[in-house]
Structure 1
Amino acid sequence: MAANKPKGQNSLALHKVIMVGSGGVGKSALTLQFMYDEFVEDYEPTKADSYRKKVVLDGEEVQIDILDTAGQEDYAAIRDNYFRSGEGFLCVFSITELESFAATADFSRRLVYHFSESPEMPMVLLIGNKSDLEDKRQVSVEEAKNRADQWNVNYVETSAKTRANVDKVFFDLMREIRARKMEDSKEKNGKKKRKSLAKRIRERCCIL
């Protein structure tokens, strides 16, 4: 009897995550901490860096693909080109910088725009990074949770420096992506076709 061959990377489930948020909030630091267990303190603006890692998600070996995008407006067009490839988004701000929190509203609008023809929005987590700098906090937990509630998403505070909740946010998002894929697969097998987000919004406006 032939021995079972190990499952190759190409056959593993792949979950695509995109990091969005203003420059300097720690998107790259979170990504590198998750990927390599290292904290990079020096800030260098990112255009777009891609990473892939094999992980065990609830007993299942899967791959996560992480795209770390630029936060600066100079690279907005480059960043937006990648949006449609994402299955889940970590929308990151710094709890020490009120402007970065305000900017999350713009990223939300961009997501709605880019996914308006899709059946529904991608999975999103709102992330308040730099929780180790509590004495410099400018954004309260209540403010952040209120915004997350408005978006109907979860809010988690992280620290790339201390590694607090770093694994949690990536694994939580992968679980949400996996659940969405399972739901989509069931609907596909049941031959139910969902209307695009834009069509549902237009219909709702007509009804109102």
Structure 2
Amino acid sequence: MTMAASGECRDGEGFLLVYSITARSTFERVERFRDQIIRVKDQDNVPMMLVGNKCDKAQEREVSFQEGQAMARRLGCDFVESSAKTCINVERAFYTTVRMIRQLRDRRTGGSRANQLSGPGSIKRERRRPKCAIL
């Protein structure tokens, strides 16, 4: 796992904290990266998800699922194990984080997106399929 430069995380709205379940050293750095994001963003409520990658290599596991869950509870974020190689839970991690970003935006603007788009005098917008993103 590598951390983006401080300037890059300042612009981010949501973050995936990714570690390898086959490398304990990556898991041990997660909390430090989370603290850096919180410090740079200068706010406690940042959409974030903990992702244990390489679940397809369970026989090489160094970090248990339970340890990942416990870390997520400590950090106050959601948790999922994934495999980028076999596409297990990759979209789930991404879309969950996007949902958190949208919910935070809605709370900050004082209303839900649905109310803003379908209120009196507004034009109902057609739902578009989301574009693909490679993580």
Q: Deviations over 1:143-192 (max 9, x none)?
A: 111110011111100001110011111111111111111110008xxxxx
Partners of 2:84 and 2:90 within 8 A in 1: yes
Which residue in the other structure is 1:99 paired with?
Answer: 25
Partners of 1:115 and 1:121 within 8 A in 2: no
Q: Give distance in 2, aligned partners of 1:100 and 1:145.
A: 15
Which residue in the other structure is 1:145 paired with?
Answer: 69
Which residue in the other structure is 1:127 paired with?
Answer: 51
Partners of 1:96 and 1:133 within 8 A in 2: yes
Q: Structure 1 unaligned runs (5+)?
A: 1-21, 23-70, 188-208
Which residue in the other structure is 1:184 paired with?
Answer: 108
Which residue in the other structure is 2:93 paired with?
Answer: 169
Q: How many residues are matched?
A: 111
State yes or no: 1:90 paired with 2:16: yes
Partners of 1:95 and 1:139 within 8 A in 2: yes
State yes or no: 1:112 paired with 2:38: yes
Residue of 74, 80, 83 corresponding to 1:159: 83
If the length of structure 1 is used for normalisation, what is the TM-score?
Answer: 0.51
If the length of structure 2 is used for normalisation, what is the TM-score?
Answer: 0.77
Identical aligned pairs, as a percentage? 31
Q: Structure 2 unaligned runs (5+)?
A: 112-135
Code of the aligned partner of 2:76? N
Question: Which has more radius of gyration?
Answer: 1
Alignment of 1:3-42 (within 5 A): 22=1
What do you get for the CA RMSD once the two structures are aligned?
1.5
Q: Give distance in 2, aligned partners of 1:104 and 1:133.
A: 20
Structure showing the higher helix proportion among its residues:
2
Partners of 1:86 and 1:122 within 8 A in 2: no
Q: Give distance in 2, aligned partners of 1:133 and 1:183.
A: 39
Q: Give distance in 2, aligned partners of 1:155 and 1:109.
A: 17
Structure showing the higher strand proportion among its residues:
1
